[in-house]
Structure 1
């Protein structure tokens, strides 16, 4: 179960926090793609960006609770 985060008395759902982490990681991965020239291989870049976010978000949701970072 992914718990809520308490930030100054405001409860933030755990999935929203994971989505923010996935967004930051996705931006870093996309910068690596751009720096290496790998993004030129894709015909529709926005779809690749969305797919990258979904994959990273899914991996975070699946594996963070199992390794003990989120109860």
Structure 2
């Protein structure tokens, strides 16, 4: 079971926290892509953004046992 985050007595599911972290990383990556001009190489920007988010989220899920969030 994934550990939940307790903020002031409110439990936030661990998967939501991971999704938020993945979203922040994906936004940072696309700002970098925009600044360097790499985004012009993509045919469908929205599809690439979604795929990037899903890949980052999957990598975070696979790293759960390594970082200790999966008892």
Asked if TM exceeds 0.5, the reply is yes
Q: Residues of 1 paired with 2:21 and 2:52: CA distance?
A: 13
**Which residue of 2 is the match for residue 28 of structure 1?**
28
**Which residue of 2 is the match for residue 39 of structure 1?**
39
User: Scaled by the length of structure 2, what TM-score is found?
Assistant: 0.91
Q: Gapped runs of 5+ residues in structure 2? A: none
**Which residue of 2 is the match for residue 52 of structure 1?**
52
Structure 1 outlier segments of 4+, above 6 Å: none
**Which residue of 2 is the match for residue 11 of structure 1?**
11
Kindly tell me the number of residue pairs found equivalent between the two proteins. Answer: 70
Q: Residues of 1 paired with 2:27 and 2:6: CA distance?
A: 26
CA positional deviation for 1:27: 0.4
CA distances 1:1-41 after superposition (whole Å, capped 9, x unpaired):
31111111111000000000000000000011111111101
